[in-house]
């Protein structure tokens, strides 16, 4: 063509039509090891589908075409409805079809939590916003299971594998989604400051009906069919099941004020709501609302770990793919020694996050968690620790992976910018960083025997590994600090604990050289590092090959 000014060259082909499961060696091995091998064929099928151009495109579309809030219909009736792009519903259809909202509750067999975690990890590489209502539904089920009458009326719709986007009363729906509402304007971490009031309208206490008056400052996925809401009854802060529609078929008085204009997670609607005498059923004991909803929050925190590990995995794969196809100064970026160092370092972090999230998911297996004290310790102590660490690491990780793409990483028509904007939210919601670290301290104090079991496991491995030994010793030293200093040290303690657990997992399950590279860089080099500072060139090529074989 006459007007052509240049040839387009050295641009990287789109990464598409690959199998997210088959290409992930650490994930495949982990699924097998953690007793979920029975699900591998399904994960492989799902991994191929998620890696198709059509599904990857859904993630882009759902974030480009954001949800729209409609307060009234055209006749002036209040509807409080949020409309989504069809891609959002397609993503929810996939999540639901794979059982990622309920699999371990539907099929409580050994490995079910790990099987579900692996599927969630795969889908989190495509789109994050749609995970929010999926997670909240997943996390609400164990709480609702403690309310036999209510649960019996919801079970079929909760367990359904069909996504039903219709805005209808519960009884008319094929399937339902559940959200949660705790945070108010005056406080999110300190929910004891909640002011929303619950007045009894039919009986009192567990299972009784109440009218709620007040607000929630963050109320994600308002189109969920019900939310688990904290409100103050006569006997103290309690948990309520608040449906979108009342049992008589009228719309419940949960009034959406507006949607949040968010940094990331843009496919998902997060709203502010007011309750004007909203109908709710008390769940759990009156006055035990925090304890009731914490059971739910524990599961959402697990999902924050899985989701952030998935985000890292996707950022890593995109970074390696780019570096292999883009050349600078005469050779592919991936062959430049310093870039190889960055990629290898990112790969170590990603593998350690993958191993940790799979191990943590195993601790949520119902029978193990109740009967095995080590599993209980993982669940109670390591969940907040992993939530803090993996979500925090994802922030820097996605920024570094974006930089591998250079300027192309910074534009919105490629996946890196979206991942970068997505990273912070898992660190903020469901308990922000400091709150998680303080919870780790509290859990260690309350569960000394469980913590001793974790330490014993670490010490066994540390006997043959000086780097790990040093780390475990400094963890113990930090914990012996005077009581008035301990709170100030909570991030340090948590970081030491998670790094030690990750080092232990890497030593047990990754190739020796890779585990040693992790320990050399994370444990021996101490804190305050950036990616790309591995000190030895040995094995860097192998680390990158293992991470992304294509």
Ligand X SMILES: Cc1cc2nc3c(=O)[nH]c(=O)nc-3n(C[C@H](O)[C@H](O)[C@H](O)COP(=O)(O)OP(=O)(O)OC[C@H]3O[C@@H](n4cnc5c(N)ncnc54)[C@H](O)[C@@H]3O)c2cc1C
How far lies 478's CA from each of 84, 318, 390, 459, 550, in Å? 49, 38, 21, 16, 43
- Look up tokens 């593998």; give the residue: 351
Give the CB-side neighbour count of residue 47, counting CA atoms within 13 A: 22
With contacts defined by CB under 6 A, name the span among 167-175, 197-205, 427-435, 532-540 that binds ligand X: 427-435
Of 293, 284, 286, the closest CA to residue 148 belongs to 284
Closest CB to ligand X among residues 345, 439: 439
Closest CB to ligand X among residues 40, 426: 426
459-518 positions binding ligand X, by CB under 6 A: none
- Give the separation between CA 362 and CA 375, rounded to whole angstroms: 8
- Give the separation between CA 185 and CA 207, rounded to whole angstroms: 28
| Residue 173 · residue 132 · CB < 8 Å | no
Out of 154, 182, 283, 320, the residue judged to bind ligand X by CB under 6 A: 182
Closest CB to ligand X among residues 189, 250: 189
Closest CB to ligand X among residues 182, 493: 182
* Beta bridge mates, 281: 209, 241
Q: How far is the CB of 264 from ligand X (least distance, A)?
A: 8
How many chain residues touch ligand X (CB under 6 A)? 24
Should residue 222 be labelled a site residue for ligand X when binding is judged by CB under 6 A? no
Q: Is 392 helix (H, G, I), strand (E, B) or coil?
A: helix
- Give the separation between CA 173 and CA 150, rounded to whole angstroms: 16
Should residue 12 be labelled a site residue for ligand X when binding is judged by CB under 6 A? no
Out of 48, 61, 428, 525, the residue judged to bind ligand X by CB under 6 A: 428
Helix 25-33 vs helix 112-123: angle between axes, to the nearest 10 degrees?
Answer: 160
Of 246, 232, 247, the closest CA to residue 282 belongs to 232
Handedness of CA 72, 77, 82, 83 (dihedral sign): negative
Should residue 125 be labelled a site residue for ligand X when binding is judged by CB under 6 A? no
Out of 30, 47, 188, 415, the residue judged to bind ligand X by CB under 6 A: 188
Out of 189, 370, 460, 538, the residue judged to bind ligand X by CB under 6 A: 189
Should residue 432 be labelled a site residue for ligand X when binding is judged by CB under 6 A? yes
Return the structure tokens found at 392: 């925090």
Q: Is 194 helix (H, G, I), strand (E, B) or coil?
A: coil
Out of 243, 289, 433, 467, the residue judged to bind ligand X by CB under 6 A: 433
Q: How far is the CB of 443 from ligand X (least distance, A)?
A: 15
How far lies 274's CA from each of 195, 226, 468, 505, in Å? 12, 15, 51, 46
Strand pairing report for 236-243 and 254-259 = unpaired
Out of 262, 325, 469, 491, the residue judged to bind ligand X by CB under 6 A: 262
Should residue 427 be labelled a site residue for ligand X when binding is judged by CB under 6 A? no
With contacts defined by CB under 6 A, name the span among 2-10, 42-50, 385-393, 432-440 that binds ligand X: 432-440
Out of 23, 213, 257, 434, the residue judged to bind ligand X by CB under 6 A: 434
- Give the separation between CA 394 and CA 305, rounded to whole angstroms: 10
Should residue 435 be labelled a site residue for ligand X when binding is judged by CB under 6 A? yes
Closest CB to ligand X among residues 310, 431: 431
Should residue 257 be labelled a site residue for ligand X when binding is judged by CB under 6 A? no
Closest CB to ligand X among residues 269, 515: 269
Closest CB to ligand X among residues 95, 510: 95
Q: How far is the CB of 428 from ligand X (least distance, A)?
A: 5
Out of 47, 59, 181, 243, the residue judged to bind ligand X by CB under 6 A: 181
Is residue 246 packed enough to be buried (19+ CB in 10 Å), middle (13-18) or exposed (0-12)?
Answer: middle
With contacts defined by CB under 6 A, name the span among 180-188, 280-288, 300-308, 343-351 that binds ligand X: 180-188
Distance between start and end Cα atoms, the chain: 36
CA 60 remoteness from chain centre: 19
Run of H or E including 477: helix 466-479
With contacts defined by CB under 6 A, name the span among 39-47, 430-438, 442-450, 531-539 that binds ligand X: 430-438
- Give the separation between CA 506 and CA 348, rounded to whole angstroms: 9
The single-letter DSSP state of residue 379 is I
With contacts defined by CB under 6 A, name the span among 16-24, 153-161, 173-181, 492-500 that binds ligand X: 173-181
Q: How far is the CB of 277 from ligand X (least distance, A)?
A: 20
Out of 19, 196, 265, 478, the residue judged to bind ligand X by CB under 6 A: 265
- Give the separation between CA 382 and CA 388, rounded to whole angstroms: 10
Q: Where are the alpha helices (DSSP H) in 6-111?
A: 25-33, 40-50, 53-64, 86-97, 103-106
Q: How far is the CB of 485 from ligand X (least distance, A)?
A: 14
Closest CB to ligand X among residues 469, 491: 491
Out of 218, 279, 389, 405, the residue judged to bind ligand X by CB under 6 A: 218
Site map (CB under 6 A) of ligand X, residues 267-306, x = contact: ---x------------------------------------
With contacts defined by CB under 6 A, name the span among 143-151, 175-183, 241-249, 342-350 that binds ligand X: 175-183
Site residues (vs ligand X, CB under 6 A): 179-183, 187-190, 218-220, 262, 265, 270, 425, 428-430, 432-435, 438
């Amino acid at each position: 063509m006459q007007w052509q000014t240049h040839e387009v060259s050295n641009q990287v082909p789109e990464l598409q039509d690959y199998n997210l499961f088959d290409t992930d060696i650490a994930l495949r091995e982990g699924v097998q090891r953690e007793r979920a091998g029975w699900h591998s064929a399904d994960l492989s099928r799902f991994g191929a589908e998620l890696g198709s151009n059509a599904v990857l495109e859904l993630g882009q579309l759902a974030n480009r075409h954001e949800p729209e809030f409609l307060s009234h219909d055209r006749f002036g009736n209040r509807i409080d409805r949020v409309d989504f792009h069809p891609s959002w519903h397609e993503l929810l259809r996939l999540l639901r079809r794979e059982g990622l909202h309920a699999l371990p509750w539907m099929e409580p067999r050994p490995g079910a939590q790990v099987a579900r975690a692996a599927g969630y990890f795969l889908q989190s590489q495509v789109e994050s916003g749609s995970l929010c209502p999926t997670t909240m539904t997943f996390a609400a089920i164990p709480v609702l299971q403690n309310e036999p009458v209510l649960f019996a009326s919801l079970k079929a719709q909760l367990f359904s594998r069909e996504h039903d986007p219709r805005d209808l009363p519960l009884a008319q729906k094929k399937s339902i989604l559940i959200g949660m509402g705790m945070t108010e304007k005056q406080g999110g971490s300190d929910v004891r400051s909640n002011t929303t009031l619950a007045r009894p309208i039919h009986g009192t206490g567990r299972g009784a009906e109440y009218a709620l008056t007040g607000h929630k400052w963050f109320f994600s996925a308002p189109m969920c069919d019900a939310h688990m809401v904290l409100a103050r009854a006569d006997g103290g802060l309690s948990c309520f099941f608040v449906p979108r529609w009342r049992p008589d078929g009228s719309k419940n008085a949960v009034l959406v004020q507006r949607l949040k204009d968010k940094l990331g997670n843009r496919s998902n609607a997060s709203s502010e709501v007011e309750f004007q005498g909203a109908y709710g059923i008390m769940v759990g004991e009156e006055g035990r609302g925090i304890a009731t909803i914490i059971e739910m929050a524990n599961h959402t925190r697990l999902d924050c770990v899985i989701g952030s590990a998935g985000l890292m995995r996707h950022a890593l794969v995109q970074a390696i793919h780019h570096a292999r196809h883009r050349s600078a100064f005469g050779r592919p970026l991936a062959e430049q020694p310093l870039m190889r160092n960055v990629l290898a370092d990112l790969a170590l972090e990603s593998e350690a996050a993958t191993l940790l999230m799979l191990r943590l998911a195993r601790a949520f297996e119902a029978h193990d968690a109740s009967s095995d004290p080590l599993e209980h310790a993982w669940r109670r102590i390591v969940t907040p620790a992993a939530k803090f660490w993996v979500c925090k690491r994802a922030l820097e990780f996605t920024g570094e992976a974006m930089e591998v793409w250079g300027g192309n990483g910074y534009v919105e028509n490629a996946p890196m910018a979206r991942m970068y904007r997505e990273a912070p939210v898992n660190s903020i919601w469901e308990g922000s960083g400091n709150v998680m670290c303080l919870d780790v301290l509290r859990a260690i104090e309350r569960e000394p025997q469980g913590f001793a079991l974790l330490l014993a496991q670490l010490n066994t491995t540390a006997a043959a590994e000086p780097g790990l030994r040093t780390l475990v010793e400094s963890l113990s030293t930090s914990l012996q600090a005077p009581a008035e200093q301990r709170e100030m040290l909570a991030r340090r303690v948590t970081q030491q604990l998670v790094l030690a657990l990750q080092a232990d997992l890497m030593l047990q399950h990754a190739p020796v050289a890779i585990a040693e590279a992790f320990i050399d860089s994370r444990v021996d080099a101490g804190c305050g590092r950036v990616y790309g500072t591995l000190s030895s060139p040995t094995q860097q090529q192998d680390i990158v090959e293992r991470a992304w074989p294509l």
